[in-house]
Structure 1
Amino acid sequence: MKTDTIFYRLFQSFPSIFFELINQPPETADTYQFSSVEVKQLAFRIDGVFLPKSNPSSPIYFVEVQFQPDKKFYSRLFTEIFLYLDRSELTNNWRGAVVYPSRSLDVGETERYIELLTSGRVSRIYLDELDSAAEQSIGIGTVKLVIEPQSGAATKARELINLAKQQIADEITQREFLELIETIIVYKFPLKSREEIEQMLGLSELKQTKVYQEAKQEGKLEAIPFMLTLGATVEQIADALKLDVELVRLVAAKAKPNQEQSRE
């Protein structure tokens, strides 16, 4: 499974899950912006960085997802962090978090970094040791789905889908959550078709409902202005989002004045 991709999408769409993992209030995510960053010159890429939106007293959070044994992992991690801090204009303090599927993969050499690892600056999260009690959030449940064996993955996914329908009122957010769960299952069952996955999860009928289709359409339309800022053409956007070219052109025309105003 492409775990880096899954976790990037998860933290980007639902940043509150990260703060739940490190035992912080989920609402903390409202004051942060998540992205993946590259430390130039040495071409290091940090899986994820949560940057404070405005508060100089809030720490920068660095997060790495490590699903392979690597004895030099901590050497690379702290090199990346300190290079980023050296090149950043931000003066905020920092914290780190490493996500492992299990403690057995935490094999990095720590002797030279033990003070950092025991200072409270770095949290090491082992997914198989997270509390699986019934009251656990659907966010944590979705993270645990990443390491769920194939034999129980479909059942767990259906449970999460039912919880999402009950607990997430916003239709667009609910759709994003369901699509994230579906993506995890697609990676777990690479030989199954998208139609078979939808049937397995009971999503086939849901995706045909008017509410789901309208929410999906709205989500696509919201992506158009961002894709324009990345330099994509109207035709490329229409092809990527499977939308009518004229509809994309209409949304682009409405978005253009706002983009020009923001640059002034």
Structure 2
Amino acid sequence: MNLVSFNAYRSLGVPGVRYIKPEHLFREQALLRHADWVLFPETWQVNSLVYGLGARVFPALPGYHLGYDKIEMTRAFWTVCPAHVPETLILPPTETSLEAAEEQLGYPMVGKQPRNARGQGVFLLADRQALQAFAAREDRLYLQEYLPIDRDLRVVWLGDRVISAYWRHGAEGSFHNNVAQGGRIEFTDVPCAALELVERIATRLGLDHAGFDLARVHGHWYVLEFNLLFGNEALNQAGIRLGGFIHDWLRRQSDNDGPDNSPTPWPIAS
């Protein structure tokens, strides 16, 4: 396969890939037009690649269309798994909206900036003063019910399968469980029900590269979000290298009649 990537780090281990700098998109049009796959374009590049050059991109388009904004993502979740979405309000930053949020969600509640990741832009709002301060900074309010959890589950989906999953325990006294913010990783006792939920959501939405974050409250699973470009630190600790999985998925997509020789996923289910 003729593979071109705009992200050298995320393409590590993918055989035969050629890297070009994102800013050279228009300079390298001939190369891109003849590529079988273009890997890890930046969001601003996707429309030009797909609609202008007719390129096949990885990750797939749904990940870019939904993954860049938590509001768009949540609306998609409402269509495919509404029972597994925390109570969420998407409102204009008005006084009427604040009153509605207080009535429906109560305190504490969680405020999230729609276009942020790695635990950034997520705030625990304990009272009216905190809610007003959050609303003053935002063009749109994205507010969720507070879930009483001390850990969440990251499920890594690549191609058409789960390849890993692990718990993320928040540092003591921290509201965030993200590894990037000090979360502790645990690979044991991952429930199959969570993996099955991710499989259903990812398949319905047409995702082929995503790190899903889930929470369990009183035995019920909630999907919080997915990250198109998820962190690899935990996977590296487990000895999981994504390059082989990516290459095999692209090969299978290019030749659906070929045998399934994909790497064996790391054993995760309890």
TM-score of the aligned structures, taking structure 2 as reference length: 0.26
* Bigger relative CO (Cα 8 Å, ≥ 6 apart): 2
